[in-house]
């Protein structure tokens, strides 16, 4: 096979065969196809797209490009969860222990934040001593002993994805449904859970800006899961304003603990409980929606959910007292309050801009590998639909210095749109996409 | 500027600005943009195309990427000619001295053959001692002293084109009208003639397979010339069967000499004389078509045209006796005759396949840098429209060995299609595209 022939074939709008896709991914992973051919090929895929069979083949080839964990061979059912990312999205932090407390094992590998969206790994690392770089043996031991493990994404899993993603990032080929779906699903298939819940965010603060694109991505990933034997369900959920009230790593960890206590902000709590119930239904642990909701509520009320978080934190070297007493988490030295410049209803909070503002405080990274400050961020005092008056508290800023706290105010205020008329909020969950 | 932003812009179907195109070409030429970004960009250009202004900007940026000769500053008018390439296309070999003999200077840089199409440079090098690697000073001296120079393409001219062409070749981005036009015209602009005649071949043996594509390429190049101040005319001509009767380097040189004597095959001779007349009209040396044809005929009949070829051969170190007595050119050791396997009219001769067959004899190269044998090739004994009987001479094969002469026969026969009914031949020249 010749790489240039396959580029031409895709360029001309033809589907690549399974053998051709396997060859491309294998040769590229082993540096036998140079980046300049793969980038032309990726642009051709961006242009022409891939059908369901091609996308599934690409995903499997990437999943098979390195080590594979097959966690479901050791414990079953075992669930995995992935969110396409948003601002203030701490759902995984609460969802994983909540589901594990309900008797469903959770084996989760997770990544760092980049740009305006945070990463679950960074949020977890706000806990003192918590280790996320686990060997394969540690991962499997923690999972089987505690029914939950929360680890960093291993570079040995789906290395083709890591290599292709880095190339796509600098060649304008990120925003392809087929390539996004293959990238996400290849890592999930390499872990090898039995059930996967996807949270596809849609809205101004999300990667998918329209419901149509979000639905296409959700359907593509559910279809890949179906073809590859991984029971996958995708929730399409709103990311029109930051999720919950906390933005920033330790601040979001604290909010996740509140959710597990049943004391979190309503939007993010409901989303978390609903997704947990969906996982109980998918795995057959709950027999119907009412049963699932009841089990989730019981795990929260009994304290089993927050105890499960403390358990996994301890199992991975973290300090569980920081879960039991979240005030022990490191706090930013400067806290100041941004107040409302006018009276009225909050009509919109531009979450992408707010994510960027939090990066300025050190809560996120502009480039891979940058250090972040786990302590900084924002606590929203009011959300979309709330009414307030001039001078009412709007955002509590947690910053490293007075200067940074001051400097961020203008861009924070620019995130807000006000209305004289009341603002109606829609549902958090737009749709649930299940296998056909 | 960021390369990835420009890739995205083109990917989304937007036109790049002049400044953006200049920056891309300059940064790429100096290795500040890596191949993997340029190849993604080229695929986006392949997909979205470029408008006339962008294509002209790209061409000028490539023309300015290295040394520039500005030959028209030393001698004017001075003409240049380019053919998009075909099988048996020796027109430039005869056209250049013919036009120069009519009093119009010709400054021509030319390339080597690759694949099924030959290169003028290779054909010229069948003359013993002929040097085509000229310094800038030699090029200008031969041109001003003899009104003609025939040199190899300098790597110092339009280096961006050389670099981009090599990348396009391995990334499936050759067949873009904008990129083909920019590649051809950038080299012509860097030489800097005052007038340019393009021969855009169309048909089974040409790069452009349809008249529509050929016309689009011709119009694009004429428009670039117009925007860049180079008076350009494009002839769209037939390449449905090999041009003339000779295929192979020395064999085509001999046929070119015959054309200059007025003794060449009718198809290629008429094309050559017609294009020469067009150049005399373009430059104003002839006042009308009849005057132009008369001057061309006179140069042939007087022997001035063939004398001009001998003159430039001598000026560049070649043996002019080989022009005066072409039988002095090296001949292949083996000559054998392929005969017609049936009776009837020749309906078609597949020229691309015939070009490939000549490569097998050593007359062309599969890869850049390969040595070729100047002596080998074919002399067609019959062409499309001719009638013959079983056993009549069909192709005279000039080969290095009996085995190679034998081995090539089957693929040669496969080039022919026969008909019981007479076959009508169309015109060689489909159209002439002039500036608007």
DSSP secondary structure of A162-197? HHHHHHHHTTT----HHHHHHHHHHHHHHHT-SEEE
Q: Which residue of A has its CA nearest to B9?
A: A172
Q: Which of B4, B42, B47 sits opposite A170 (nearest CB)?
A: B4
> Tokens representing B30?
């100096």
Residue A366: per-residue pLDDT: 83
- Tell me which residue of A287, A290, A259 sits closest to A272, measured CA to CA: A259
Considering only residues 314 to 353 of chain A, which have any Cβ-Cβ distance to chain B shorter than 8 Å? none
Considering only residues 158 to 217 of chain B, which have any Cβ-Cβ distance to chain A shorter than 8 Å? 167, 169-173
**Spatial separation of the C-alpha atoms in residues B380 and B416, rounded to whole Å:** 11
Active site residue A308: no
* Mutation target vs A (from B4, B35, B43, B164; most A CBs, 10 A cutoff): B43
- Tell me which residue of A269, A214, A277 sits closest to A240, measured CA to CA: A214
Residues with Cβ within 8 Å of A274's Cβ and at least 6 positions away in sequence, in order, are: A235, A428, A429
Residue B338: per-residue pLDDT: 97
**Spatial separation of the C-alpha atoms in residues B139 and B320, rounded to whole Å:** 19
Considering only residues 37 to 66 of chain A, which have any Cβ-Cβ distance to chain B shorter than 8 Å? 37-40, 42-44, 46-47
Active-site pick, A80, A89, A122, A161? A161
| pLDDT tens by residue, A126-154 | 999 999 999 999 999 999 999 999 999 88
Cis previous bond, A77, omega within 30 = yes
**Spatial separation of the C-alpha atoms in residues A281 and A351, rounded to whole Å:** 32
* Confidence label for B1 from pLDDT (cuts 50, 70 and 90): confident
Residue B420: per-residue pLDDT: 96
The alpha-carbon gap from A137 to the nearest alpha carbon of chain B, in Å, equals 38
Q: Decide if A171 and B42 are in contact by the 8 Å CB cutoff.
A: no
Residue B322: per-residue pLDDT: 95
Query: What's the half-sphere exposure (Cβ side, CA atoms, 13 Å) at A299?
Result: 28
| pLDDT tens by residue, B384-420 | 999 999 999 999 999 999 999 999 999 999 999 999 9
Q: Does B7 touch chain A (CB under 8 A)?
A: yes
Handedness of CA B101, B106, B110, B113 (dihedral sign): negative
Class of residue A93 by CB neighbours under 10 A (exposed 0-12, middle 13-18, buried 19+): buried
Residue A49: per-residue pLDDT: 97
Chain A residues with beta carbon closer than 8 angstroms to that of B20:
none
Average pLDDT over residues B357-378: 91
Chain A residues with beta carbon closer than 8 angstroms to that of B11:
43, 46, 172
Active-site pick, A83, A147, A154, A183? A183
Chain B residues with beta carbon closer than 8 angstroms to that of A38:
36
- Give the strand pairing for A416-419 and A344-349: antiparallel
| Strand order across the beta sheet in which A393-399 lies | A246-247, A377-380, A393-399, A334-339
DSSP string, A108-172: EEE---BTTB--HHHHHTTSTT------HHHHHHHHHHHSEEEEEPPTTBSHHHHHHHHHHHTTT
Active site residue A82: yes
Active site residue B387: no
Q: Which of B11, B35, B170 sits opposite A172 (nearest CB)?
A: B11
- Give the strand pairing for A148-152 and A105-110: parallel
Q: Decide if A171 and B46 are in contact by the 8 Å CB cutoff.
A: no
**Spatial separation of the C-alpha atoms in residues B131 and B318, rounded to whole Å:** 7
Task: Tell me if residue A95 falls in helix, strand or coil.
Answer: helix
Residue B201: per-residue pLDDT: 95
| pLDDT tens by residue, B126-157 | 999 999 999 999 999 999 999 999 999 888 99
Residues of chain A with pLDDT under 70: none
* In the predicted structure, residue B117 carries a pLDDT above the cut 80: no
Q: How far apart are the first and last CA of chain B?
A: 35
DSSP string, B110-179: E---BTTB--HHHHHTTSTT------HHHHHHHHHHHSEEEEEPPTTBSHHHHHHHHHHHTTT----HHH
Residues with Cβ within 8 Å of A391's Cβ and at least 6 positions away in sequence, in order, are: A339, A340
Residue that has been written with the tokens 């005279």 in this structure = B396
Q: Does A408 touch chain B (CB under 8 A)?
A: no
Active-site pick, B108, B116, B163, B187? B187
Average pLDDT over residues B301-306: 98
Average pLDDT of every residue of chain B: 95
Chain A residues with beta carbon closer than 8 angstroms to that of B44:
43, 172
Task: Give the ipTM of the model, two decimals please.
Answer: 0.89
Active site residue A187: yes
Residues with Cβ within 8 Å of B5's Cβ and at least 6 positions away in sequence, in order, are: none
> Tokens representing B266?
């009718």
* Confidence label for B8 from pLDDT (cuts 50, 70 and 90): very high
Residue B318: per-residue pLDDT: 96
**Spatial separation of the C-alpha atoms in residues A241 and A206, rounded to whole Å:** 10
Which contacts (CB < 8 Å, 24+ apart) does range B16-25 have? B16/B50, B16/B54, B16/B57, B18/B53, B18/B57, B21/B54, B21/B57, B21/B58, B21/B61, B22/B57, B22/B61, B24/B61, B25/B58, B25/B61, B25/B62, B25/B65, B25/B160
Task: Tell me if residue B67 falls in helix, strand or coil.
Answer: strand
Residue A341: per-residue pLDDT: 95
Helix, strand, coil percent values for chain A (each to nearest 5): 45, 15, 35
Question: B36 with B12: CB under 8 angstroms?
Answer: no
Q: Which residues is B157 bridged to in the sheet?
A: B67
**Spatial separation of the C-alpha atoms in residues A140 and B392, rounded to whole Å:** 81
**Spatial separation of the C-alpha atoms in residues B394 and B413, rounded to whole Å:** 9
């Amino acid at each position: 096979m010749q790489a240039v022939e396959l580029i031409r074939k895709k360029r001309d709008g033809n589907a690549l065969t399974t053998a051709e896709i396997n060859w491309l991914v294998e040769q590229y992973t082993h540096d036998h196809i140079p980046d300049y051919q793969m980038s032309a090929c990726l642009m051709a895929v961006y242009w022409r797209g891939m059908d369901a069979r091609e996308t599934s083949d690409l995903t499997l080839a990437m999943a098979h490009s390195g080590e594979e964990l097959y966690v479901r061979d050791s414990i079953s059912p075992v669930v995995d969860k992935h969110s396409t990312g948003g601002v203030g999205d701490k759902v995984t932090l609460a969802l994983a222990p909540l589901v594990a407390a309900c008797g469903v094992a959770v084996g989760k590998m997770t990544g760092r934040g980049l740009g305006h969206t945070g990463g679950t790994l960074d949020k977890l690392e706000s806990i003192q001593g918590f280790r996320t770089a686990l060997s394969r043996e540690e991962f499997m031991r923690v999972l089987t002993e505690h029914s939950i493990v929360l680890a960093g994404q291993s570079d040995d899993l789906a290395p083709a994805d890591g290599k292709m993603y880095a190339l796509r990032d600098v060649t304008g080929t990120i925003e392809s449904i087929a390539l996004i779906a293959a990238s996400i699903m290849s890592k999930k298939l390499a872990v090898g859970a039995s059930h996967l819940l996807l949270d596809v965010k849609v809205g101004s603060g999300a990667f998918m800006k329209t419901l149509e694109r979000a639905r296409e991505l959700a359907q593509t990933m559910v279809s890949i899961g179906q073809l590859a034997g991984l029971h996958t369900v995708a929730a399409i959920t709103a990311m029109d304003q930051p999720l919950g009230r906390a933005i920033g790593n330790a601040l979001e960890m604290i909010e996740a603990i509140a959710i597990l206590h049943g004391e979190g902000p309503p939007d993010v709590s409901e989303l978390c409980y609903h997704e947990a119930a969906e996982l109980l239904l998918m795995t057959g642990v709950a027999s119907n929606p009412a049963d699932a909701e009841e089990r989730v509520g019981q795990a929260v009320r009994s304290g089993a959910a927050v105890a499960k978080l403390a358990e996994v934190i301890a199992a991975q070297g973290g300090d569980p007292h920081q879960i039991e007493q979240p005030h022990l988490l490191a706090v930013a030295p400067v806290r100041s309050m941004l107040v409302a410049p006018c009276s009225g209803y909050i009509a919109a909070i531009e979450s992408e801009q707010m994510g960027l503002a939090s990066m300025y405080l050190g809560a996120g990274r502009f480039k891979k590998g940058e250090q972040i400050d786990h302590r900084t961020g924002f606590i929203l005092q009011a959300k979309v639909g709330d009414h307030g008056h001039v001078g009412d508290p709007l955002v509590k800023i947690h910053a490293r210095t007075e200067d940074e706290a001051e400097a961020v105010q203008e861009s924070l205020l620019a995130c807000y749109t006000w209305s004289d008329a009341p603002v109606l909020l829609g549902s958090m969950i737009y749709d649930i996409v299940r296998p056909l």
